[in-house]
Structure 1
Amino acid sequence: MRSIVESRHTRRSFWRQLTLIGPAFVAGAWQFGPGNLTTAMNAGALYGYTLIWVIIVSTILMVFLTDMSVRLGIRTPVSLIASIKETLGGWVGVVAGFGVFLITLCFSVGNAVGSGVGLSMLIPGTSPVMWTIICSAAVATILLLKGIYRVVEKVLIVIVALMAVCFIVSAFAANPDWAAAGAGLIPVVPDGAWLLIIGLVGTNFSINAAFYASYGTKARRRTEADYRDITIVDTIPGIIAPGIMTALVIVVAAAVLHATGTDAPGAFGGLARIFEPIAGPVGAWIFALGFFGAAFSSMIPNCVAGGTMISDALGRGGSADTTTARLGSAFILAFGLAITLVFSGSSPVELIVIAQALTVLFAPILAALILIMANNRALMGSLRNRWWQNVMGVIGLVSVVALSIRLAISLLT
């Protein structure tokens, strides 16, 4: 009798664990966007499998920072920005909120462009701008629904699962050198690769997505008793999944482009056509679907997060359902669409790369705030950072500071 009761309890516990899936997968979907794909493809095309280790390191750092944010979501009484205001001063909380908002504006450009390009590759002969307008309208419809966060979670978990399948199929269809890919796990810095390495870290180690994970956790009303299970079923797999997909993009680009001596194409359609000799029309379709999925899945949480942050910074509430949050989300969506329309004649790759690069300017501030708040003894209690978590947090902070300095130097010169 006792074993039966324990067995039933185990089964109930397992299903309850699955209901905890959500916030980290949203952060991962936001992280795995067009900019991530762009830098990963260039890494594989230019340097083969050599830079896979960068994705592994940045994914590990992302797991640690997201974990800190999840614990903050559990422990903050109202929201992370509200706690920052109370602990460090109101102006610091406002800077944090506006920082995330400005990052989401930059991301909105890449997402808008990427969603249109992806669908135009799926349906040749159609206009990318037309699809950008349609995708923007679809996201606007989702944002009008009540209980936005729950809807976003469900949509994104499905899209992330589909993308995972697509990129796994693509990787095997490309017939890569798996031994060389394994050697890419050993840290090596090729000549002239530093800028690309910084770009890979900046896109895969998405501080704003980690910051917003606290809000997803708070929206789901998670408790300290849930923390261990959240880590196992959501935080770790939710962040590792996009890391694996990014590594697979490098593997595919290395097999398709670098192995044949072909440079990275100037447009994403070029890479899709290169897949055709390997897997026929299906290969091009898989790539286009994966690229659209990456852009669209990043588009939704980007708008929701930006609107929520600006609402919280202005003292209007840290929920995606406030009027201020909805207006902020609408502005982000409209901004991405407007820039896409204005620069419709420009290279979509250049627009995505430039927009992605600008997001790192506020990343050090957000990383420092997460680290400081996760060490606040009065706020965090038993969930306060341990020494080894602080070590990984400092490494992550130093990384994004270096990235931000490198970008500032590039802009000035």
Structure 2
Amino acid sequence: MSERTTARHTSTTPGTGYGRVSTDTMRSIVESRRKRRTFWQQLGLIGPAFVAGAWQFGPGNLTTAVQAGSGYQYALIWVIVISTILMIFLTDMSVRLGIKSPVSLIASIKDHLGGWVGVAAGIGIFLITLCFSVGNAVGSGLGLSMLFGGNPIMWTVICTVAVAALLLLRNVYRVIEKVLVGIVALMAIAFVASAFIANPDWAAAASGLVPTVPDGSWLLIVALVGTNFSINAAFYTSYGTKERGRTEDDYRDVTVVDTIPGIIAPGIMTALVIVVAAAVLGKTGEAAPTIVALAGIFEPLAGPIGSTVFALGFFGAAFSSMIANATAGGTMLADGLGRGASSSSITAKIVSGSILAFGILVTLVFQASPIQLIVIAQALTIFIAPVLAALILVMANRTSLMGAMRNKWWQNVAGIIGLVAVLALSIRLLFTLIGG
């Protein structure tokens, strides 16, 4: 038998080593081609990270960004860039945890680190959502009052009732996901357009990428990190990933079409808001103190109706964040208490309602300075962020849970940097509040 005949025989005859390798290789190629998604199928993977992005880009984010630009011009853009990079890494860890966790992330925390740790995680996220609920309640009322007139408190109540009605729907996550992705897309278009029409000093904006800390800016920096490096939003991404039934085979495509763009989008929008605010309002060197002053950033885009455009964006940011915030807080506290990991559970809906009620209550009590109230509420979230960051980092390194999807060394480096950053800022905020 010739060499050519022998080779042909060994490559096709079952039972030989070469035959098995060749058959397995061909099967892998066929399966790979079969699993390759079309463009439209990949778009269908968009969801959980964009929900996290919508949660990030709430009224607190918009308010602090405008104050950063109006008060310090381009100097704080670096905060957004670093926060966005770190947010991508934490969100990616959460996506992988959502894929690998048998039931939910908090359930896995209970299994691996102890039941009390899972309960603490649920309570911690609930407390953060309470802080965010204040900005959402204030923002929704202010936005609609600018559009239609009337008392902002009345509009806050109406928005809260509308969100509560949404949360009562069956399959609530899918409904919320579609609403939030649409709102984020519309806001992105408005902010990109306004950034270029305002004709900012792009060279000065580029200099804002170099970290500096202007005098009196620490509280604002902490608030910017609290909204843009939103660890609670990253944490909740694992729940959206699990609810959508993502698998290891989906991970690469999910990263490309959802995780990275879903987190970069609000980061870019926030940076552009700072740029526009610096160009339009930053000449005075004083932070915009009222909602009307904030609305001045859209005058170059829409002239006399710029305030209307701003009001729509502000309301969209508040309403989208209100939905995501109440849903996430309700779901994760219910999970921490062992009452189920679904946003559709009775306990989750009750907790979500209490979050909405808290937002209205604080809005009613503190009506004198709503803009400053939003900034302080956003900053306070930084106290709990280190705990959640540590939990994500620890769980993403559990080989027994993650297997081949556990963190690589460079992912751990980014995670540790993020953890140290929020821990340092929480300490700094504590001293700032004590000193103030």
* TM-score range for the pair, normalised by the shorter chain length: over 0.9
Q: Is the 8 A contact 2:276 2:297 kept in 1?
A: no
One-letter code aligned to 1:408: L
What does residue range 295-314 of structure 1 map to in structure 2 within 5 Å?
Answer: 295-314=318-337
Deviation at residue 169 of structure 1 after TM alignment: 2.0
Provide, for residues 104-127 of structure 1, a one-character-per-residue CA deviation record: whole Å limited to 9, x for no partner: 11111110000111111223x322
Deviation at residue 285 of structure 1 after TM alignment: 1.9
Which one of the candidate residues 167, 171, 184 is aligned to 1:143? 167
Which one of the candidate residues 103, 107, 111 is aligned to 1:82? 107
Q: TM-score, normalised by structure 1?
A: 0.94
Q: Say if 1:82 and 1:403 are closer, same or farther in 2 by CA, change over 3 A.
A: same
In structure 1, the residue matched to 2:370 is 348
Q: Which consecutive residues of structure 1, in runs of 5 or more, have no partner in the other structure?
A: none
Q: Is the 8 A contact 1:170 1:287 kept in 2?
A: no
Q: Distance in 2 between matches of 1:324 and 1:228?
A: 34
Q: Distance in 2 between matches of 1:320 and 1:193?
A: 38
Which one of the candidate residues 335, 341, 348 is aligned to 1:318? 341
SS in 2 for 1:50: coil
Q: Say if 1:279 and 1:371 are closer, same or farther in 2 by CA, change over 3 A.
A: same
Q: Which consecutive residues of structure 2, in runs of 5 or more, have no partner in the other structure?
A: 1-29
Moved more, 315-324 or 195-204: 195-204
Provide, for residues 132-151 of structure 1, a one-character-per-residue CA deviation record: whole Å limited to 9, x for no partner: 11111110111010001000
Q: Distance in 1 between matches of 2:217 and 2:323?
A: 32
Q: Say if 1:61 and 1:12 are closer, same or farther in 2 by CA, change over 3 A.
A: closer
Deviation at residue 197 of structure 1 after TM alignment: 2.5
Q: TM-score, normalised by structure 2?
A: 0.89
Deviation at residue 387 of structure 1 after TM alignment: 0.3
Q: Say if 1:341 and 1:199 are closer, same or farther in 2 by CA, change over 3 A.
A: closer
Q: Is the 8 A contact 2:226 2:382 kept in 1?
A: yes
In structure 2, the residue matched to 1:119 is 144
In structure 2, the residue matched to 1:105 is 130
Provide, for residues 28-80 of structure 1, a one-character-per-residue CA deviation record: whole Å limited to 9, x for no partner: 11111122122211211122112212111110000000000000000000100
Provide, for residues 361-410 of structure 1, a one-character-per-residue CA deviation record: whole Å limited to 9, x for no partner: 11100000000000000100111000000000000000110111112223
One-letter code aligned to 1:212: Y
Q: Distance in 2 between matches of 1:128 and 1:390?
A: 45
One-letter code aligned to 1:311: A
Q: Say if 1:346 and 1:193 are closer, same or farther in 2 by CA, change over 3 A.
A: closer
Q: Say if 1:318 and 1:274 are closer, same or farther in 2 by CA, change over 3 A.
A: closer
Q: Is the 8 A contact 2:77 2:208 kept in 1?
A: yes
Deviation at residue 84 of structure 1 after TM alignment: 0.4
One-letter code aligned to 2:412: N
Q: Distance in 1 between matches of 2:369 and 2:35?
A: 54
In structure 2, the residue matched to 1:374 is 396
In structure 1, the residue matched to 2:179 is 155
One-letter code aligned to 2:137: A
One-letter code aligned to 2:373: L
Q: Distance in 2 between matches of 1:274 and 1:16?
A: 38
Q: Say if 1:277 and 1:386 are closer, same or farther in 2 by CA, change over 3 A.
A: closer
Q: Distance in 2 between matches of 1:93 and 1:296?
A: 29
Deviation at residue 411 of structure 1 after TM alignment: 3.2
Which one of the candidate residues 281, 289, 292 is aligned to 2:312? 289
One-letter code aligned to 2:172: I
Deviation at residue 262 of structure 1 after TM alignment: 5.1
In structure 1, the residue matched to 2:91 is 66
One-letter code aligned to 2:116: W
In structure 2, the residue matched to 1:22 is 47
Pair 1:170-2:197 in alignment: no
Q: Distance in 1 between matches of 2:373 and 2:216?
A: 23
Deviation at residue 194 of structure 1 after TM alignment: 3.7
Q: Distance in 1 between matches of 2:163 and 2:378?
A: 20
Q: Is the 8 A contact 2:339 2:347 kept in 1?
A: yes
In structure 1, the residue matched to 2:20 is none
What does residue range 227-238 of structure 1 map to in structure 2 within 5 Å?
Answer: 227-238=251-262
In structure 2, the residue matched to 1:46 is 71
Structure with higher Rg: it is 2
Q: Is the 8 A contact 2:335 2:341 kept in 1?
A: yes
Moved more, 282-291 or 361-370: 282-291
Q: Is the 8 A contact 1:174 1:279 kept in 2?
A: no
One-letter code aligned to 1:97: G
SS in 2 for 1:280: helix
Deviation at residue 265 of structure 1 after TM alignment: 2.2
Which one of the candidate residues 204, 210, 222 is aligned to 1:180? 204
In structure 1, the residue matched to 2:426 is 404
In structure 2, the residue matched to 1:207 is 231
Q: Is the 8 A contact 2:130 2:358 kept in 1?
A: yes
Moved more, 198-207 or 69-78: 198-207
In structure 2, the residue matched to 1:251 is 275
SS in 1 for 2:45: coil
Deviation at residue 192 of structure 1 after TM alignment: 4.0
Q: Distance in 1 between matches of 2:178 and 2:168?
A: 16
